[in-house]
Structure 1
Amino acid sequence: MKTYDDPELQAIAVKLTSDDPGIRRVAVMDLVDSGEPEAVELVIHALNDPDTNVRQEAAKVVDEFEAADMADALIAALGDNDEVVRNSAAHALADLKDPAAGEPLLKALDNSTDAFVVSGILRALKPLRLAGAQSPALKCLSDGDPRVRREAVAVLGWLKQTENLPALVETAQRDEDPEVRRAATGALVYASPQQVGQALIGLLQDGHWQVRCEAANSIGKLNHQAAVQPLMDATKDQLWQVREKAVDALGKLGSTDSIPVLGECSKDAMSNLRKAAIGALGAIAHSDCRPFVEIAMDDPDPDVRKLARWAMSKLDAAA
């Protein structure tokens, strides 16, 4: 192993050559306190240690170092036979966020077939927003593993390219995995209502409640006014989580047509829905909202009463 000028780092390097894996593991922990840039080399060395516990410790401390030089070692660690090492490496790669890591990540993506490795690389590529990631991410939308498809959706969502919208809409509507559909539905928020509004309205009818929630949330973010009636219909969904998201979205859209529906929701047996409804009525702040807000001032739930006071202040200000 290389000889280091820094005495502390040299002592750690010596420990990392010990026959005792316990000593090598302690050496890895000592690296965090060394503060030397050259410590990265020793972390990479520890990531390749024959002992699982040493590799685990190395993967855990990677977050303490900001060095794109570590990208190759972390990519290799994604294929480690120990789950803790793999997960730690994937987490560290995602946190690297260094454009210099882009080239080795793209190269590794092109040469990898293991689903865990591919999904980990895609997760690391997402915040880098590299144009070169677009083509492989689109290809990964047809991968057999939902983890890969989900991470590919995230990459495309962060790239925010109009030409990717048809593929994302297709994924949101047709992927067999509900979590992938949910992720794709959420990724559509960089588009305009004209581009994806109708697709999002259709997704309010998806067979999985989380997709329906995400569709309502995305509609609210996009301020898709044509979705007022479908959202009002969604306030009657069988699951309160979907009803709550629909109510939130109606508040963002601000249509007075939704006031009677929101008023009914403000009297629902579910306190979370009452809170959402009062929040939406306060956001709309039309005089027709006042009777519902007045009733909520005496709600048994203190959080609803607090929101009612806020909503009343909005109504008074608007008046």
Structure 2
Amino acid sequence: MKTYDDPELQAIAVKLTSDDPGIRRVAVMDLVDSGEPEAVELVILALQDPDTNVRQEAAKVVDEFEATDMADALIAALSDSDEVVRNSAAHALADLKDPAAAEPLLEALESSSDSFVVSGILRALKPLRNAGAQRPALKRLGDASAQVRREAVGVLGWLKQPENLPALVEAAQHDADPDVRRAATGALVYASPQQVGQALVSLLKDDHWQVRCEAAISIGKLNHQAAAAALMDATKDELWQVREKAVDALGTLGVVEAIPVLGECSKDAMSNLRKAAIGALGTIAHNDGRPYVVTALDDPDPDVRKLARWAISKLDTAA
């Protein structure tokens, strides 16, 4: 056993060799308070402990240590037999956000076929924006696991490379899993309306409501003015959540032609939609919207009334 100069750390190291897993578990908790850089070595050791409870405790405390040296141990922990350990390791990897961790992550990604491990590694690679992740992420868009495909979309979205747009559009429009389609739809916002606007308009008709919501959000973020008519149609969607996001986007785009449509939404039975409509009318700040805003001053929902007062101030300022 390695010896440590710090007496407290040495005492913890001795506890980690105990035959009693309870003592070893307490030793892991003590590591958090040690404050010694070398404590990382003992956390890595605890991640390999034969007792599940000890490994769980180690996986829970790894967030307290900023050490790229831990990347290999966390990657190994993604294959642990215990779900708590696997999940904690995945979260800890995602939180590393150290560019130096990219190389071991990419090496592990190349050799792994376990969907949980692969998705965990991809999630950790996403914020690193490492160019080396592009090829394996594109490859994983064809993975049998929807979780893996979703994380691959995240990597490509964060890389923001134009050459990845066709693959992301394909995933947004045709992936079998709605969560993947939704993630890909959201990832398209780094492009221009000319590149992905048509695809986003088509996604307003997706079979899944969350994809339709994401399409409306992305259209607003991209300021895709040509999508105004499609957004106005989307304010008649069967689900109020989609209608709300379409209304928000129309406000963001400042579509004056949408004022009558927004006015109708301001009378909807769903208060969330009424709030969105009054907010959009205030953002557009065109006098044609004033009658709807004035009516909303007497709305039964106090939040709608508050927004109406704000919208009136915007209209008065713009006049």
TM-score, normalised with respect to structure 2: 1.00
Which residue in 1 is equivalent to 2:111? 111
TM-superposition CA deviations, 1:270-301 (whole Å, max 9, x none): 00000000000000000001000000011000
Aligned-partner Cα distance in 2 for 1:188–1:224: 12
The letter of the residue matching 1:169 is V
Aligned-partner Cα distance in 1 for 2:231–2:300: 27
Aligned-partner Cα distance in 1 for 2:107–2:61: 25
Which residue in 2 is equivalent to 1:92? 92
TM-superposition CA deviations, 1:68-122 (whole Å, max 9, x none): 0000000000000000000000000000000110000000000100000000000
> What is the deviation of 1:255?
1.2
Which residue in 1 is equivalent to 2:36? 36
Look up the SS of the partner of 1:207 in the other structure.
Answer: coil
Measured on the aligned residues, the alpha-carbon RMSD in Å equals: 0.3
Aligned-partner Cα distance in 2 for 1:311–1:140: 47
The letter of the residue matching 1:260 is P
Which residue in 1 is equivalent to 2:195? 195
TM-superposition CA deviations, 1:217-241 (whole Å, max 9, x none): 0000000001000000000000000
Look up the SS of the partner of 1:81 in the other structure.
Answer: coil
Q: Which runs of 5+ in 1 are unaligned?
A: none
Aligned runs of 1:1-319 on 2, under 5 Å?
Answer: 1-319=1-319
TM-superposition CA deviations, 1:154-213 (whole Å, max 9, x none): 000000000000000000000000000000000000000000000000000000000000
> What is the deviation of 1:133?
0.2
Calculate percent identity across the aligned residue pairs: 85
Look up the SS of the partner of 2:314 in the other structure.
Answer: helix
The letter of the residue matching 1:190 is Y
Look up the SS of the partner of 1:182 in the other structure.
Answer: helix
Aligned-partner Cα distance in 2 for 1:267–1:243: 13
Look up the SS of the partner of 2:79 in the other structure.
Answer: coil
> What is the deviation of 1:306?
0.6
The letter of the residue matching 1:158 is W
Aligned-partner Cα distance in 1 for 2:229–2:304: 25
Aligned-partner Cα distance in 2 for 1:175–1:283: 35
The letter of the residue matching 1:153 is V
The letter of the residue matching 1:303 is D
* Greater than 6 Å deviation, 4+ residue runs: none
Aligned-partner Cα distance in 2 for 1:235–1:45: 57
The letter of the residue matching 2:132 is G
Look up the SS of the partner of 1:206 in the other structure.
Answer: coil
Aligned length: 319
The letter of the residue matching 1:87 is N
Look up the SS of the partner of 2:182 in the other structure.
Answer: helix
Q: Which runs of 5+ in 2 are unaligned?
A: none
Look up the SS of the partner of 2:317 in the other structure.
Answer: helix
